Every structure is written in C-alpha cells, then in structure tokens.
Amino acid sequence: MKALPVYKRIVLKLSGEALQGKQSHGIDQAVLVSIARQIKEIRDLHVDVAIVLGGGNIFRGQENIASRGLDMDRSVADYMGMLATVIDGLALQDVLEKMNMPTRVMTAIEMQRIAEPYIRRRAIRHLEKGRIVIFVAGTGNPYFTTDTAAALRAMEINADAILKATKVDGVYSADPLKVKNAKKFERLKYIDVLKKGLKVMDATAVSLCMDNKLPIVVFNLNKEGNIRRVVLGKKIGTVVR
C-alpha cells in the first residue's frame, strides 16, 4: 500500500547557513540541488510546499554588527539581512525551475523586477495551482527573525506544520556537536521549549505556534530523503506540539 503524507501543506524553514554547505559563506550549488531533489520528492506526493529562507550565509543583521565591529543601526543591519534572503530565494528558485518545478518568489519588501509582493490570497492561490512559493525578506520589519516569518506565513496560508531543517537530527539539551552526552528529545511541548530555552526557533515564533497549535518538526537536512520521511510521518527528528 502506498504511503500517504500526514501533512498536506507545509512550510519548510531553511537557514542561510544550510545553503552554504561546508563553505564559510555564500551558496553551495550542490546543497541547492540536494534540497531541490528532496522538495521534488514531496511535490510528487502532492504536498503543497512553501519555503521561508534565512540569509545568514550572506549577512545576518544584529550578529554581524557585533562580529564584524560595524557601527550600524540595528534596523539597517536587519534590512540588509532581509535583502540577503532575497538572493538565496532567487538562487533556490533557479534550481527548482531547472527541475521543472514551477515556483513563485514572494517578498515582504516590494521589488517588482525580481519578485512578487507578498499577498496572502495570491500565495494560497499559487499553492492551490501546484506552485512552490518561496517567501523572502522575512516579515518586512526589523527586529523580527526569519523563524518568526516562518511561523507567521504558516498561519496565514493554513499550513499543517513547520519543518525546520537543521544540521543535527533533532532538538538536544545542549549542542550535540560540542557536548558528547547531550540528550535528544523525540517530543517536546511548546512551553518546555520556552522554559528550557532550547534553540528550536526564537521565542516569538514558538509562542505563535503554541497559540495556534501548529506543530514544528526539527530534523537533519543533510540526510537526503529526510523531508519526505517527515512528510510521511516517519519517526525522525523532534516534534514540538
């Protein structure tokens, strides 16, 4: 019997760092191709796919002010980070369309030459027509992360879950790459994520998901086929409910 997806419409949250692969910055073409292949697998299951991208592989707002010693207003840095997500979105769109997947890039900051302005009803219509929608420029406002943008867009398009792609296979009590005995959680409650300060998504995003009962699935993007496994309800990663 053919396996059926447990989610009909998802928001895939990709960090900018996920796109850079093993490089110190920028975009790794091989990673883009791998992500596109995995997205095609779930599109073949007739799952509606929306994607929210970060821009940390190019410029990450407040963190770059501190790490690079920039004398810059936080708002300016955040807008620069939003523009970085547009670059990532266009790169992903190019690879997806080369694999014959129709896409639309929708931006919270209008730039008519390269992307559509974000309009909720139009985004839903694109999904209904089988197009992959790539949301860029975060929420369009400084002081809000792309995690919060993912939660907000997921509510607006009536998604069934947020799939948060990371470099590790779930949520741990500490960074498993640094702490050998870090404990992995298979399931978590929203309130536990907030109380324990676990780095799933930022507190605003988790609170939004909690208020609207939207599941978050955290999983390892680097293992090909994992997006499909999550969509089919396989027990991988960590589920926050």
Q: Which helix (H) or strand (E) holds 77?
A: helix 74-98
Could you tell me the domains of the chain?
A: 9-240 (3.40.1160.10)
By the 8 A CB rule, do 132 and 188 touch? no
DSSP string, 188-239: E-HHHHHHHT-SSS-HHHHHHHHHTT--EEEEETTSTTHHHHHHTT-S-SEE
| The pLDDT value given to residue 176 | 83
The pLDDT score that the predictor gives to residue 157 is 98
DSSP label of 117: E
pLDDT value of position 63: 67
The whole-number pLDDT of residue 67 equals 64
The model's pTM: 0.94
What's the confidence (pLDDT) of residue 177? Answer: 79
Q: What local confidence, expressed as pLDDT, does residue 199 receive? A: 82
Please give the mean pLDDT across all residues of the chain.
Answer: 93
Q: Which residues of the chain have pLDDT under 70?
A: 1, 61-68
* Residues in the chain, overall count: 241
Q: State the angle between helix axes of 74-98 and 29-43 in degrees (0 to 180), rounded to the nearest 10.
A: 70
